[in-house]
């Protein structure tokens, strides 16, 4: 089966019912995407499928062949971190950091749809991403900063 | 104190005082003070600092990083005295040898919110001693007085002659001139600090935004097999027999075997292992905990609470005063009941083990590696030093990874026995919730009376729950006359055992008793802020009841009760002002307050809630004032306060583990809900300036939030919750 991950075409051999999460982690060694619950409850495994945030732990690999899959590893470019990553770093969001790949992917997808989300919109869009360390206040702050960075980038 | 401090720093600042607390004595275990360091490739300047010729400075970190910020504060301390950027320091997890044991615990353990306090002197001293050696080498080599040398950015400079060398370049001179570490060294005066006390971003933050931070679950070793364990339905169950025919026929499955923890499937991927696990047919012996239920715990504990317990504290004559007040109708009585809680770290437990001959290597996210080493060495019958531990970053811990039984570690070792490759065991979320360790269930029974002025006159509290320490190797250190000091942490007015602090309140008649409930059903485990997770609710909610009974405003009551405790009194005074305590709230809204001391930082919170008709409520605002001594990293402290209170808020709002017929009923985040973004209140953190030595902050904010919210709900609705979580009583945090 062929997959397109972060713009690269790769061949994988996992069984068709294997969740994308485990193909990424165990077969492709892209371990930035995390396992937290396995039942679409925590968001640690969030990746983008054709630009939309999905839970890779409940997405069979067979369902994503020939689609554009983006993971945390594909967010930075040669010119550096993505605006969302920059905002996360600057706001010092992470504590243990385990949820943050998923948070960043969720925030990136949100900002692609809504360039300037309000707090309630951020809350609603990211309610599915659990952070056990409780970095929520900084997540809200970082999403606003990321929105500003993206706006700046676009006006430049 | 062994000590390395000069009279100058002693006289000018109070950092070096031990604050009256043995716990926080600024001990300095900088070892190797006379040990030769290796020349050539890189030199150990002392236990904590290695410098390489290419000027890479490496810190050996003997505290775990699980989100607590240990790596940040420790590198800041070292960098401050070495005059380098803390982010330029390389870091290695220090090996599991006694020289790296915590000076406080005398074990290799990161716990109790003591990392900052217990490393503040050792890490600075390590940096200062290394710097002194570099200065001495430059001074001798360049024939200039040491006093004319300066250090900055990893270089020693002599301004007058224009000479300058990197630390790495000076290694050769140190070696050639046989420069030895000094016995004592002057530390910087806090007025000279460039790094400490300033907001600093997380040391390992970069890897946590680009996905490259490596957690235990991410490690892949050549040939490694993945293991998934089918665990007994009841804690204490074991395997009688199993049939793995179907599992063994599945792709990638290598072996299935019974171990003490259950039946483990080894396969070439985790998905394949856990898929094959589902096909196992297992006959279980349910063990001694069959039939146990958490409802029965409540009933048994309530009955025990009516009987005299082990007497921990008896100030004045509480019983006499209560009996006398009874006739005047000035007595109130209440029973508080707190459930079992799981930790639910976002990274599930996992461990890699490799067993070869009489050696064992593990890769494990752990708070407690000397214990892991001990348990493994006992299990395998090999010398302790033959157990090597690699410690990666951890996706949260909250106490779970300080397991005294080393459960998730030793089972990986057992699974790896007889295998020629490393084995990684990964827990599913269901295993984490059902088969973990738990904050023990507690019942507190309280009686209290108020005097004519409305102030508390007598207090009688009986706590019942399973002890964390009884029967463990910590029994001698943390049990006093059979009483687990954690069961009563934050209930006693006077210091108790090794805890050098009381409640900060003065009630003239104060009696506290404790029952160690029978050990059964579960393995009790520390949960962020430990005893305070239940004592905080019992004490602070009942104090609120006393305020109500006496007709005194709860904030005012605390201010009066702490008039002899300057630090807490200051915290509360600031809180009262910052939270607009006296500003009226609209109907349906309420305010609550709680104040606690834990290891030994006073912290108080005021919360505002809005409650709907149907009991749905929001926590709109939390104002938190902390006094954690000198604030080493204000940015980190603020994060710990926000996160700590989020953890406690989720726990009090809906944290609940039920056991029925020996089996845990919850299994994943759908039925063991945790805090989510929309439920997170706005948080305002006020760190009081202080030049006392730094004290804990990782768990402190967890302690007042639960009672403060319950008190606010009472304030808003007149309904007092005495059984938790709040969701079980019709109050749903939305
Ligand atoms: S692991 Fe996919 S949502 Fe939790
Ligand atoms: S930072 Fe630890 S779970 Fe979010």
Q: Say which CATH superfamily domain A83-155 falls into.
A: [2Fe-2S]-binding domain (1.10.150.120)
What residues in B contact A47, CB-CB < 8 Å? none
CATH 2.60.120.10 fits domain B216-288+349-426 = no
- Identify which of B201, B233, B188 has the alpha carbon closest to the alpha carbon of residue B5: B188
Ligand 1 centroid vs B429 CA: distance in angstroms?
10
Torsions phi, psi for B513 (to 5 deg) = -125, 160
Helices (H), B520-633: 532-550, 554-561, 566-578
CB count, 10 Å around CB of B346?
29
Interface of A with B in 2-31 (CB under 8 A): 14-15, 18-19, 22, 25-27, 29-31
CB-CB: which of B202, B205, B210 is closest to A76?
B210
Distance CA B446, CA B353 (A): 48
Cα of A40 to nearest chain B Cα, Å:
9
Distance B395 CA to ligand 2 centre (A): 7
Mutate to test the pocket of ligand 2, among A128, A132, A137 (most ligand atoms within 8 A of CB): A132
DSSP letter, residue B459: E
Q: What is the mean pLDDT of residues B32-45?
A: 52
Mean pLDDT for the stretch of residues B550-557: 98
pLDDT at B19: 31
- The mean pLDDT of B466-487, rounded to a whole number, is 96
Structure tokens at B37: 């360091």
pLDDT of residue B6: 24
Residue B9, pLDDT score? 28
Cα-to-centroid distance, B421 and ligand 1 (Å): 29
How far apart are the C-alpha atoms of B532 and B545, rounded to whole Å? 18
| B491: confidence class by pLDDT, cuts 50, 70, 90 | very high
- What is the overall mean pLDDT for chain B? 94
Give the containing element (helix H, strand E) for B647: helix B634-654
Query: For B226-237, what is the mean pLDDT?
Result: 97
Q: Do B67 and A97 touch (CB under 8 A)?
A: yes
- Domain assignments of chain B as residue spans, ordered by start: 2-208, 216-288+349-426, 294-341+438-733
CB A97 near ligand 2, within 6 Å: yes
pLDDT of residue A79: 87
Give pLDDT tens digits for A25-58: 999 999 999 999 999 999 999 999 999 999 999 9
Q: Report CA Rg, chain B.
A: 27
- Indicate the range of A63-72, B41-50, B181-190, B629-638 predicted with least confidence: B41-50
Tokens of B594: 């709680």
ipTM for this prediction: 0.98
Q: Which residue has the tokens 């009226």?
A: B584
Confidence check: pLDDT of B322 > 50 = yes
CA distance B73 to chain A (A): 13
- Residue B1: C-alpha distances to residues A49, B102, B329, B374, B662 (Å): 59, 14, 54, 28, 49
Q: Taking the model in full, what pTM does it have?
A: 0.95
Cβ–Cβ gap B211/A99 under 8 Å: no
Q: Are strands B423-426 and B225-230 parallel, antiparallel or unpaired?
A: parallel
Q: Minimal CA–CA distance to B503: which of B398, B594, B625, B591?
A: B594
Q: Any idea of the CA torsion for A8, A14, A15, A18, to the nearest 10 degrees? A: -80
Is the Cβ pair B398, A98 closer than 8 Å?
no
pLDDT tens digits for range B200-217: 999 999 999 999 999 999
Contacts of B206 in chain A (CB under 8 A): 89
Residue A118 in contact with partner chain B when CB distance is under 8 A: no
Architecture of domain B294-341+438-733: 2-Layer Sandwich (3.30)
Mean of the per-residue pLDDT values of chain A: 97
Q: Which residues contact B725 (CB under 8 A, 6 or more apart)?
A: B339, B651, B652, B653, B654, B655, B656
pLDDT in tens, A93-124: 999 999 999 999 999 999 999 999 999 999 99
pLDDT digit string, tens, across residues B587-611: 999 999 999 999 899 999 999 999 9
Question: How many whole angstroms separate alpha carbon B580 and alpha carbon B420?
Answer: 65
Report the pLDDT value the prediction gives residue B41, as an integer from 0 to 100. 62
| Ranges B40-54, B462-476, B524-538: which has the least confidence | B40-54
pLDDT 10s digits, B261-303: 999 999 999 999 999 999 999 999 999 999 999 999 999 999 9
Average pLDDT estimate for B474-485:
95
Report CB contact under 8 Å: A136, B646. yes
More confident residue, B38 or B240: B240
pLDDT digits (tens, 9 = 90+) for A17-29: 999 999 999 999 9
- Mutational pocket test of ligand 1: of A31, A38, A54, the residue with most ligand atoms within 8 Å of the beta carbon: A38
- Domain ranges within chain A, ordered by starting residue: 2-73, 83-155
The helix or strand, by DSSP H or E, that contains position B324, with its residue range, turns out to be helix B318-328
Pairing of strands B57-61, B90-93: parallel
What are the structure tokens assigned to B734, written together? 């939305």
CATH 3.30.365.10 assigned to B2-208:
yes
Chain B interface mutation, best of A95, A106, A123, highest count of B Cβ atoms under 10 Å: A95
CB-ligand 2 contact for B205 (6 Å cutoff)? no
Range scoring the smallest mean pLDDT among B40-44, B128-132, B309-313, B473-477? B40-44
Give the pLDDT confidence of A5-15 residue by residue, as tens digits: 999 999 999 99
Closest listed ligand to the CA of A24:
1
Q: Which ligand is nearest to the CA of B676?
A: 2
Which atom of ligand 1 lies nearest, measured to the CA of A34?
A: 1
Antiparallel, parallel or unpaired: β A68-70 and A2-5 = parallel
Residue of B217, B643, B669 with shortest CB distance to A133: B643
The separation between the first and the last C-alpha atoms of chain A, rounded to the nearest angstrom, is: 41
Contacts with A129 from chain B: Cβ below 8 Å: 677
Model confidence at B30: pLDDT above 90: no
Q: Are B232 and B284 in contact (CB under 8 A)?
A: yes
User: Does B67 score more than 80 pLDDT?
Assistant: yes
Ligand number nearest CA of A47 is 1
Chain segment B611-670, per-residue pLDDT in tens: 999 999 999 999 999 999 999 999 999 999 999 999 999 999 999 999 999 999 999 999
Exposed/middle/buried for B283, CB within 10 Å: 0-12, 13-18, 19+?
exposed
Provide the CATH number for the domain formed by A2-73 in this structure. Answer: 3.10.20.30
**CB distance B348 to ligand 2 below 6 Å:** no
The pLDDT, as a whole number, for residue B11 is 27
Percent of chain B with pLDDT over 90: 93
CB spacing of B398 vs A26 below 8 angstroms: no
To test the contact with chain B by mutation, choose from A46, A97, A121 the residue with the greatest count of B C-beta atoms within 10 A, namely: A97
Which pLDDT score, from 0 to 100, does residue B38 have? 40
In 3D space, the residue among B406, B453, B337 whose CA is nearest the CA of residue B720 turns out to be B337
Query: Sorting pLDDT into bands at 50, 70 and 90, what band is A78?
Result: confident
């Amino acid at each position: 089966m062929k997959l397109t991950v972060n713009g690269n075409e790769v061949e994988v051999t996992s069984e068709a019912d294997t969740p994308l999460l485990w193909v990424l982690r165990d077969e492709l060694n892209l371990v930035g995407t995390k396992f937290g619950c396995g039942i679409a409850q925590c968001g640690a495994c969030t990746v983008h499928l054709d630009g939309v945030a999905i839970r890779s732990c409940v997405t069979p690999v067979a369902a994503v062949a020939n689609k554009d899959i983006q993971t945390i590893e594909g967010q930075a470019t040669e010119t550096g971190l993505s605006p969302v990553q920059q905002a996360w770093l600057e706001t010092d969001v992470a504590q243990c950091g385990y949820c943050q790949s998923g948070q960043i992917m969720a925030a990136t997808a949100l900002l692609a749809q809504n360039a300037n989300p309000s707090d309630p919109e951020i809350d609603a869009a990211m309610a599915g991403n659990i952070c056990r360390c409780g970095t929520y206040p900084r997540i809200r702050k970082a999403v606003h900063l990321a929105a500003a960075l993206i706006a700046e980038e676009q006006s430049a | 104190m062994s000590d390395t401090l000069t009279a100058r720093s002693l006289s000018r600042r109070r950092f070096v005082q031990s604050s009256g607390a043995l716990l926080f004595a600024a001990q300095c275990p900088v070892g190797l003070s006379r040990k030769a360091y290796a020349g050539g490739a890189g030199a150990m300047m002392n236990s904590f600092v290695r410098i390489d010729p290419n000027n890479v400075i490496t810190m050996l970190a003997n505290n775990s990083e699980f989100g607590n910020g240990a790596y940040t504060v420790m590198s800041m301390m070292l960098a401050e005295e070495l005059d380098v950027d803390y982010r330029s320091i390389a870091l290695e997890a220090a090996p599991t040898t006694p020289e790296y044991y915590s000076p406080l615990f005398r074990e290799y353990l990161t716990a109790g919110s003591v990392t900052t306090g217990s490393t503040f002197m050792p890490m600075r001293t390590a940096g200062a001693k290394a710097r002194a050696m570099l200065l001495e080498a430059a001074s001798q080599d360049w024939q200039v007085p040491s006093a004319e040398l300066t250090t900055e950015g990893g270089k020693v400079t002599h301004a007058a002659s224009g000479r300058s060398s990197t630390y790495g370049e000076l290694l050769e001179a140190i070696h050639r001139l046989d420069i030895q570490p000094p016995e004592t060294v002057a530390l910087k005066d806090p007025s000279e600090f460039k790094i400490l006390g300033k907001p600093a971003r997380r040391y390992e933050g970069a890897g946590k935004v680009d996905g490259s931070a490596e957690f235990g679950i991410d490690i892949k070793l050549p040939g490694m097999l993945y293991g998934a364990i089918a665990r007994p339905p009841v804690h204490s169950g074991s395997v009688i027999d199993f049939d793995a025919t179907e599992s063994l026929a599945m792709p990638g499955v290598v072996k299935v075997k019974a171990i003490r923890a259950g039946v483990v499937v080894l396969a070439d991927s985790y998905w394949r292992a856990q898929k094959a696990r589902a096909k196992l047919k297992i006959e279980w012996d349910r063990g001694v905990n069959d039939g146990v239920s958490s409802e029965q715990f409540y009933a048994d504990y309530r009955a025990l609470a009516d009987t005299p317990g082990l007497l921990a504290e008896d100030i004045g004559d509480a019983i006499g005063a209560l009996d006398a007040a009874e006739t005047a109708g000035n007595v109130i009585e209440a029973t508080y009941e707190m459930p079992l809680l799981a930790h639910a770290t976002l990274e599930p437990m996992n461990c890699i083990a490799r067993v070869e001959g009489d050696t064992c290597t593990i890769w494990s996210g752990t708070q407690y590696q000397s214990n892991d080493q001990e348990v493994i060495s006992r299990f395998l019958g090999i010398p302790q030093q033959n157990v090597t531990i690699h410690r990666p970053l951890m996706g949260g811990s909250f106490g779970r990874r300080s397991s005294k039984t080393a459960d998730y570690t030793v089972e990986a070792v057992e699974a790896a026995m007889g295998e020629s490759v490393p084995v990684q065991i990964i827990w599913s979320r269901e295993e984490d919730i059902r088969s973990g360790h738990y904050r023990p269930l507690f019942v507190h029974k309280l009686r209290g009376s108020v005097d004519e002025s409305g102030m508390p006159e007598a207090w009688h509290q009986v706590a019942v729950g399973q002890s964390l320490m009884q029967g463990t190797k910590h029994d001698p250190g943390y049990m006093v006359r059979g009483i687990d000091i954690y069961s009563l942490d934050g209930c006693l007015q006077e210091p108790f055992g090794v805890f050098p602090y009381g409640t900060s309140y003065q009630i003239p008649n104060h009696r506290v008793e404790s029952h160690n409930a029978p050990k059964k059903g579960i393995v009790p485990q520390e949960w962020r802020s430990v005893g305070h997770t239940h004592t905080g609710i019992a004490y602070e909610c009942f104090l609120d009841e006393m305020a109500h009974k006496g007709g005194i405003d709860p904030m005012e009551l605390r201010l009066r009760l702490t008039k002899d405790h300057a630090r807490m009194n200051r915290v509360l005074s600031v809180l009262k002002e910052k939270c607009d305590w006296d500003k009226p709230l609209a109907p349906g809204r309420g305010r609550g307050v709680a104040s606690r001391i834990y290891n030994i930082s006073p912290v108080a919170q005021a919360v505002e809630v809005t409650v709907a008709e149907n009991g749905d409520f929001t926590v709109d605002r939390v104002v938190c004032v902390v006094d954690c001594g000198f604030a080493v990293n204000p940015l980190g402290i603020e994060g710990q306060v926000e996160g700590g209170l989020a953890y406690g808020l989720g726990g009090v709002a809906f944290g609940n583990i039920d056991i029925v017929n020996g089996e845990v009923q919850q299994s994943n985040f759908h039925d063991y809900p945790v805090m989510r973004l929309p439920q997170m209140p706005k948080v305002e953190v006020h760190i009081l300036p202080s030049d006392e030595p730094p004290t804990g902050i990782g768990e402190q904010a967890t302690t007042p939030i639960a009672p403060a919210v319950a008190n606010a709900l009472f304030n808003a609705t007149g309904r007092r919750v005495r059984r938790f979580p709040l969701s079980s009583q019709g109050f749903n945090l939305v």
